[in-house]
Structure formats: C-alpha cells, structure tokens
Amino acid sequence: MTFQELGLAEPILRALTAEGYTTPTPIQARAIPHVLLGKDLLGCAQTGTGKTAAFALPIIQRLMAGRPAPAAAQHAAPAPSHAAPAQPQHRPGQYRSASQPAPAQPASRSNHVTHVTHAHGHNHGQDVPNRQPARRTRALILAPTRELAAQIGDSFRVYGRFAHLRYTVIFGGVGQNPQVRALREGVDIVVATPGRLMDLMEQGHVDLRHIEVFVLDEADRMLDMGFIHDIRRIAAKLPPLTARQTLLFSATMPNDIRALAASLLNKPVGVEVAPVSATADKIEQAVYYVDKRNKTLLMIHLLEKTSFTRTLVFTRTKHGADKLAKQLDTVGIRAEAIHGNKSQNARERALNNFRSGKTPILIASDIASRGIDIDEISHVINYDLPNVPETYVHRIGRTARAGASGIAISFCDPEERSYLRDIERLTRIQIPIRDDHPPYPARSEFSGAPHSGGHGGRGGQQRGGSGHRSGGGGGHSGGGRPQSRSSGSGQRPPNRGGHHR
C-alpha cells in the first residue's frame, strides 16, 4: 500500500514525496482511513511506529477541506508578514488528483503550515491588536512533554508545507506572551502540553468552542504525569462528543487508559498494530545482575569496552540522571542529562548535542524521554529498571528504529528482581544474562562504602554462556529454563557497534 492509495490529498502527497515517504507504516495504514472518515479512534502502537503522522496527515486534509474560501479571507485582518499568502486555486474541499500537475509555485515560497510563533518565546513580529482572530482554532493536540509537543509541531510543518494552514506550539518553561500573540493572530492547529494550556485558558486566551479534532498523544504518559484532571477540564470546554472527532494514541493500553477513552471517545474504532507486550524484533536484549553501588562502575566498563555510537540511558529519578552524568564526566566520558527540572534551553541543547553526536550519551528520566525522536540510537541502557513493565517496552523501543537493529542492556540490583520478573512476564521473553563484569574494588569512589567484591553481589551461580539460567541465580526465578530471544538467534554479532546506522 502507498500513501496515494489511502486517499490523501495532492498537497499532502507532494509533501510526503519531498520527504522521501511513499509507504505508510502499519499504524498509519490502519488508522488514516478511519480518521479520514471522521471516526473516533483508539490507537495503540509502540514508539517509533509513526503514530504522529497517523493523526497529522488526516487532520491536515480535514482542515484543508473546510478552510474558509479566499473571498472570506479578504475581509479578515492582514496576516503577519511571515504567514503564507492565500492562493485560491481550488474551492474548499476540492483537490487535484496526484496525477494532475501542480501549478508552478514561487521559488521563495515558505512552508505553508506556518508556525506563527517560535516555541522558545522569541518575538519576531509586532504586538497584535486585541481583536477576534481571523482563524478559529479547529484542531487541538495534547502531548505530555515539551519535547514531544515540539516534535508534533514540526511534523505538521513538514507534512502540511503546501496546505496553507497555521499552527502554534504551547508549553511551559518559556514566556507566554508570544504564545498569546499567536492565538490572537489566529491558528488552525494548537499543539500543547496540558499545564500551559490550562494556564492560558484560565486567563481567557484560549477559545476551544470550535475544535473539530481533539487528539491525546502518549495518553499513558500523561496519566503517569498526573495530567488526568487537566485533561478532563480541557475536554469539558470542547464541543460535545458527537460534535467533534477525538483520537487517543498510546504506547501502552492499561485499564486506566481504556477508562479514559470510554469517557472521551464516541464509539471509537480500535487500532492496535503490536501487542502492548511486544518488543521490536531487531532489539538484542541483555541483563546484568549488579549491586546498586556498582552500577556506575559497570556503566563505565561498558562504555569504554564496547562500540557505542549513540546511547540513551534511563534512570528512575532526576537526581540520579544528574549524578550519573557528573560521575561519567569525572572519568572523561561526555554525557548530558535531560529531565523536567532542566530549563527548556538546557533540554534542547542536550537534545541537539545528542542528535549531532557531540554528546554520545544522553541520560534521561522516563518523562523527559517522550518526544526524543532520533533514529540512530544504537544502545539503550536501563541503569535503573522501571517498576512498570510497559515502560520497559517503551524505553527499549527508542533503539532499532527505521529498520536498524539495536541493543538494550539492563542493570538489575537485588531490589529490582521483581521488576525484572514482571518485565519478562509481560514480554514473554526471558532476557539473557550477561556476566562479563569488570573487577569491582572493595571500596568504590562512587559508592564510598566497602563491600565483599565479586560480580555485582549476585550471591549465586552465574550463567556461563550455556543459554540457561542457573538455578542459584541470586534468587531470580526461572532457573533451568532455556533462553528465548525475540530475534530468534542465539549469537551476538562480533562488533556490537559496527552494525548500527
């Protein structure tokens, strides 16, 4: 199947072709037809599967079809100088077929999903008089983090470059004045985090009465972050269920997400392209049993002895992310931390350094990691195992994107054994144990406490490469069972870093 077969409009197909996209991903192929028909949708797919385009493309098409006619636009207040000029080539709702040639466009024309303000709060125009906006906001997309909101906004810019629509991205951590000006100028699409959107709503800057499409993206993470009450308050200001289209996307589908969907969606179509428990086939998984005090030493050992290209490390806490980054820096390993306590500029600087390769290691909390959309992550390391097994699936899904392979390594201390059992129960995979530990000193400069040495304090027999867990494996369940691998291969590549993009 191609994007053309999905019935997308010519301007959207042209934008996709310019980006080199011709074939939809499974979530896109299954979701887009339903969304184009105006149906509510409950979508579940792993990260990196193209969920954003699954809702962005049909939203752009819907808004193009219903945008005001050029004649009506002539009576509106003038658009800012950086907005795209209207080009009345077609009546609203009509498109050229993909086989018809597109009219010549001026060489200087900018992208035509126009971002009317920069998310960082920079002012590139004059204050707008207090008036009703020339455009009404017709689509609202909520995302849990600033990074994900910015990523979604960028997707609308790319996919809607020929659509003559306007969008803005709204999130906290920056000044609100440019965001307020954008809303006053009028935008078709608002991408927002719930907290800042609620702030602007309470100040009277946001009008949601004309919303036609409402999207909740990464709904599971929004609930984890405590946004449930904000979501319900925002939804209460929208048109009723039968007068709007609602789309809910989530990487996981626990019961509380299904309960939220039942209250917000009207007879939704369910689309699930991979089970909640599924991990990507091309991810090679491994676990080290290690005492908590030795985790940093094991981390340094792996980073120095393995061919890592771009590594994403997960810690349970913000303090833990900062502490690990400093510890790596003391031994000359460049790493940066990203979490909710960092300023927006610091977070974006860390992401840009990671994306460019200037910083090869990014240490993140789970919340901050949502919105990290980087294809060439070769390794994911769970410095701390998550206490929610679905989070493990989401974490390791950051590698092996865009057809590449990847490696996911987890550190498991004695207090985390139950977390590992829950992960293996959910994924139905017994994660192979690695025992190539470094020698641990009696006293670690990072732990400051003496201990008995050994290989991470497992306290039991270690697996010696037989493909089976030893019955005495430090209390870990499942001794004697054969190893199973999602890739179906029992061998590791000789060079773990060289085969990654």
**CA-closest candidate to residue 112, choices 79, 158, 46:** 158
- Residues 148 and 284 reside in one and the same domain: no
Same domain, yes or no, for 53 and 130? Answer: yes
| pLDDT at position 234 | 97
Mean pLDDT (whole number) for 354-363: 93
**CA 236 to CA 215: how far, in whole Å?**
14
Q: For residue 121, what pLDDT is reported? A: 38
**How far, in Å, CA of 353 to CA of 335, rounded?**
10
Q: In this structure, is residue 436 part of a structural domain?
A: yes
What lies within 8 Å, CB to CB, of 14 at 6+ separation is 102, 162
Is the same domain home to 204 and 314? no
Please give the full DSSP string across 30-46, using - where no structure is assigned: HHHHHHHTT--EEEE--
Q: Is residue 87 part of a domain?
A: no
Least confident of 84-98, 198-212, 420-434: 84-98
**Amino acid letter, residue 109:** R
- Residue 428 φ/ψ, nearest 5 degrees: 60, 30
Q: Are residues 217 and 328 in the same domain?
A: no
Instruction: Decide if 237 is inside a domain.
Output: yes
Same domain, 476 and 386: yes
* Residue 63: pLDDT band with limits 50, 70, 90: very high
Q: Convert the pLDDT of each residue in 183-226 to its tens digit.
A: 999 999 999 999 999 999 999 999 999 999 999 999 988 887 88
Write down the pTM of the prediction.
0.62
Domain span at 195: 4-66+110-272
Listed range (62-66, 245-249, 394-398, 454-458) with the worst mean pLDDT: 454-458
pLDDT grade for 390, boundaries at 50, 70 and 90: confident
Give mean pLDDT, residues 225-240.
94
Is 481 within a domain? yes
* Residue 79 maps to a domain: no
> For residue 282, what pLDDT band results from cuts at 50, 70 and 90?
confident
| Burial environment of residue 448 by CB neighbours within 10 A (0 to 12, 13 to 18, 19 or more) | exposed
> Residue 380 pLDDT > 90, yes or no?
yes
For residue 129, name the pLDDT band (cuts at 50, 70, 90): very low
Same-domain status, 263 and 309: no
Q: How many other C-beta atoms can be found within 10 angstroms of the C-beta atom of residue 417?
A: 17
- Tokens 């018809």 found at: 100
User: Taking residues 151-174, what's their average pLDDT?
Assistant: 94
Residues 406 and 353 in one domain: yes
Residue scoring higher pLDDT (342 or 200): 200
**By mean pLDDT, which of 142-151, 196-205, 443-452 is the weakest?**
443-452
Residues 354 and 489 in one domain: yes
pLDDT over 60 at 101, yes or no: no
Lowest mean pLDDT: which of 149-153, 383-387, 443-447? 443-447
Same domain, 391 and 301: yes
Q: d(Cα 328, Cα 256) in Å, to the nearest integer?
A: 38
pLDDT given for residue 496 in this prediction: 33
Statement to judge: residues 390 and 442 lie in one domain: yes
The Cα 460–Cα 443 span in angstroms is 21
Greater confidence, 174 or 374? 174
What are phi and psi for residue 191, nearest 5 degrees? -110, 125
Provide mean pLDDT across the span 267-276: 84
pLDDT number for residue 371: 59
What value does the mean pLDDT take over residues 311-335? 94
Rounded Cα distance, 494 and 483, in Å: 20
Q: Compute φ and ψ for 222, nearest 5 degrees.
A: -65, -40
From 272, 297, 323, the end of a domain falls on 272
Whether 101 is in a domain gets the answer: no
**pLDDT for 252:** 76
Rounded to the nearest 5°, which phi and psi values hold at 467?
85, 5
Domain boundary among 272, 290, 318: 272
pLDDT one-digit tens code per residue, 32-53: 999 999 999 999 877 677 889 9
Does 17 score more than 80 pLDDT? yes
Share of the chain above pLDDT 90, in %: 51
Segment 243-248 shows an average pLDDT of 97
Q: Model confidence at 343, in pLDDT bands (50, 70, 90)?
A: confident
Q: How confident is the model at residue 456, as a pLDDT?
A: 42
Question: pLDDT value at position 284?
Answer: 93
Residue 463 pLDDT greater than 90, yes or no: no
Are both 267 and 293 inside the same structural domain?
no
pLDDT band at 31 (very low <50, low <70, confident <90, very high): very high
The count of structural domains within the chain is: 2
The CATH number given to whatever domain includes residue 424 is 3.40.50.300
- Binned at pLDDT 50, 70 and 90, residue 471 comes out as very low
- Residue 72 in any domain: the answer is no
Average pLDDT over residues 374-393: 89
Looking at the predicted structure, is the pLDDT value of residue 277 above 80?
no
The total of other beta-carbon atoms located within 10 Å of residue 357's CB is: 10
The answer on 475 and 347 residing in a single domain is yes
For residue 47, the model assigns a pLDDT of: 66
Q: Tell me whether residue 117 is in a domain.
A: yes
Higher-confidence position of 453 and 376: 376
Which of 224, 256, 272 is the endpoint of a domain? 272
Question: 232-241, 400-409, 490-499: which range is least confident on average?
Answer: 490-499
Q: Which tokens is 424 given?
A: 């293996």
What is the signed CA dihedral for 54, 55, 56, 61, rounded to 10 degrees?
100
Q: How confident is the model at residue 116 (pLDDT cuts 50, 70, 90)?
A: low
pLDDT at 315: 95
Average pLDDT, the chain: 78
Q: What percent of the chain has pLDDT over 70?
A: 71
**Structure confidence at residue 135 as a pLDDT band (50, 70, 90):** confident
Q: Strand order of the sheet with strand 213-216?
A: 113-115, 165-170, 189-192, 139-142, 213-216, 245-250, 41-44, 269-272
pLDDT average, residue stretch 280-287: 87
